[in-house]
Amino acid sequence: MKNIYHSLLMVLVVAFAFVACDTEDDLVQQRNDDNPIIPEPPLSGTPGNADFSKYIAIGNSITAGYMDGALYNDGQAHAFPNLLATQFRITGLDGGEFNQPDINSVLGFNTILTNPDPETGAILGRFELDLSIPGPVPAIASVADANALFTPYSGPPVNNFGAPGIQLGQLLTPATGGPDSDANPAYNPYYFRFASEPSTDGMNGSTIIADAIAAQPTFFTLWIGNNDLLGYALSGATNETIFTSAANFDLQYNTAMDLLLTNTEAKGVIVNIPPILALPVFRAVPYNPVPLDETTAATLNAAFTGFNDALNGLVSISQITANEANRRRVTYAAGNNPLLIFDEDLEDLGDKFDMLLMAGAINAGERAALQPFVQARPATSDDLVILTASTEIGRDLNPSMPDTFLNGISVPFGDEYILTLEEQSAINDRFLSFNTTIANAAIANSDRVALYNTNTPDGLFLDIFGASDGIIGAEIDGFNYQPDFTPNGVFSTDAVHPNPKGHAIIANEIIAVINASFGANVPKIDIVPFRTVLAAQ
């Protein structure tokens, strides 16, 4: 079994890229040279009853231009608010430059991986697609790239108030700007960089929403709330502290809206939460990524004889049903096999295995061997495997006993890497509640606020994920785009955030809402020149 782990890595990184790349030349043509590719806009447009002379954007990582696992120059240049501002100038209401808290970092500082690399000490930058795998790998960055994340912004007053990683409540608290301590989980280094008054005690100082109001915008976009679901989902539904309650979300969202609309004359567009669980980070790794030959499968099946016999024993004394036993039974075969996972919603069979021990059906050693499997079962197609699992599947958890404790194969995979159907249902319930709050805020303020509904049944978001017509991908301007980070994809290599082409598509969707809601004629962006996947140099 010593080759399982290495075989898995190759299978998973190929799955990570979703489909095979056509040729190296295809990817090279998509490669970014860190010069923004923003085409010259058309020469005419009208604002309707909107006023774009002072546009600001409020939000989290997408608004900020975070992509490929980092915030870096080219990502910021292609952030959808920056693209919108370019189009707004065409309407004749030019409020000057759209200032962003420039990161001044070519490669950025990767905030998904442990950074610096614990083995080499290297500073890791944005992910790039390695053509030789193919799969994402971090660029090797510099000290300057790393320091940029923590260097206060010193440019002109900003228009883009997007801060990667923030949840809705962090718009409202000074603690988002400091202090940087374990006792302040609200601290966000991206907001600290451009906060008008970083907090030293978590109670006094500026807030994102107050800074946005102080800019006195005439028009705004607000896209917030994704992280109130996403962080919890990425934790495998294990971190309840970052799973905002429906009541808190409703209170916080309406508070932010009331502050913004009461203290400015601005109109704007609010964006709801897209289908989070359709993101590639939850779809790249299949539920059955374990390739086995007949010999290895037979070896594993022999190892699980005791567990399967114990399940049969519980059925024979009417402690579990035959269906429940079959759901948990572990049987491998040649070919691709499902992961073995821990499922917190399964009944803990510990007490029932103890009954077998007391009845003399198993001995103490056999009972101890059953303990890791009291809430274990093979994964099914209903389960979602989180991308962070890709380097853990098949890892030998006890090198002193090689090929004995293989993660997700002979030992159940941890709950933090899996979203079961029950966990997905809880996330979807909260998703629906949050979007109801956002929709109601748009209705209550319809004289000034329009909603970009990313979940419209025949809309682009659902279409590209295949939820509207069952066909993955969407045709835009004669080109087919996919919900992944291939050359035809709209996501960056972190499998969560849009790439520049994705941002241009989003900007066009928002423009369509503006034109329809405010009687404007803001020209759309030609998305063809924008890059997709970022290939390694």
pTM: predicted TM-score of the whole model, two decimal places: 0.90
Domain residues for the domain of 28 are: 4-172+207-283+422-518
The residue-averaged pLDDT of 421-434 equals: 98
Does 55 map to a domain? yes
Radius of gyration of the chain (CA): 25
State the chain's mean pLDDT as an integer.
90
At 71, is the secondary structure helix, strand, or coil? coil
d(CA 147, CA 279): 30
Length reported for the chain: 537
Q: Looking at the domain assignment, is residue 309 inside a domain?
A: no
Least confident of 86-95, 198-207, 313-322, 503-512: 86-95
Q: How far is CA 517 from the centre of its chain?
A: 30
Mean pLDDT, residues 223-247: 97
- pLDDT per residue over 3-52, tens digit each? 443 333 333 443 444 433 443 344 434 444 445 555 555 568 899 999 99
- Centre a 10 Å sphere on the Cβ of residue 196 and count the other Cβ atoms it contains: 15
Q: What is the 3-state secondary structure (H, E, C) of 342-370?
A: ECCCCCCCHHHHHHHHHCCCCCHHHHHHH
In this prediction, residue 405 has a pLDDT band, given cuts at 50, 70 and 90, of confident
| pLDDT band at residue 469 using 50, 70 and 90 as cut-offs | confident
Least Cα distance to 99 among 149, 50, 158 occurs for 158
* Of the candidate ranges 223-237, 266-280, 475-489, 494-508, the one whose mean pLDDT is the lowest: 475-489
Instruction: Indicate the range of 24-28, 110-114, 277-281 predicted with least confidence.
Output: 24-28
pLDDT tops 60 at residue 271: yes
Chain center to CA of 345: 24
pLDDT of 41 reads 54
Within a domain: 390: no
Dist. CA 360–CA 355, nearest whole Å: 9
What is the average pLDDT across 507-528? 96
**Helices and strands (DSSP H and E) totals, the chain:** 18, 15
> Does residue 508 have a pLDDT over 70?
yes
Provide φ and ψ at 226, rounded to 5°: -55, -45
**For residue range 288-316, what is the model confidence (pLDDT) as tens digits?**
999 999 999 999 999 999 999 999 999 99
Distance of CA 507 to the CA centre of its chain: 19
Residue 285 has a pLDDT of 93
Does residue 361 form part of some domain? no
Residue 401's pLDDT is what? Answer: 73
Q: How far apart are CA 162 and CA 60, in angstroms?
A: 5
Whether the per-residue pLDDT at 149 is higher than 70: the answer is yes
47/68 Cα distance (integer angstroms):
34
- 3-state helix/strand/coil string of 453-521: CCCCCCCHHHHHCCCCCCCCCEEECCEEEECCCCCCECECCCCCCECHHHHHHHHHHHHHHHHHHHCCE
Across residues 486-515, what is the average pLDDT?
Answer: 95
pLDDT of residue 2: 40
Phi-psi region of 219 (alpha: psi -120 to 50; beta: other; left: phi over 0): beta
- Does residue 401 belong to any structural domain of this protein? no
Decide: 49 and 448 in contact? Cβ < 8 Å.
no
Structure token digits, residue 289: 């990524």
Percent of the chain with pLDDT over 90: 78
Q: Which tens digits make up the pLDDT trace of 56-88? A: 999 999 999 999 999 999 999 999 999 999 999
97 in a domain, yes or no?
Answer: yes
> Per the omega criterion (within 30 degrees of 0), is the bond before 487 cis?
no
In the prediction, which pLDDT does 39 show? 55
Beta bridge partners of 475: 480
CATH, residue 251 = 3.40.50.1110
* Burial class, 377, CB count within 10 angstroms (exposed 0-12 / middle 13-18 / buried 19+): buried
Residue 432, pLDDT above cutoff 60:
yes
Structure tokens at 160: 């883009």
User: How distant is the alpha carbon of residue 100 from its chain centre?
Assistant: 23
How far, in Å, are 81, 107, 446 from residue 69 at the CA level?
19, 10, 36
Rounded distance between C-alpha atoms, residue 513 and residue 64, angstroms: 21
In a domain, 219, yes or no: yes
Number of domain units in the chain: 1
3-state helix, strand, coil in the chain (%, to 5): 40, 15, 50
Cis peptide before 116 (omega within 30 of 0): yes
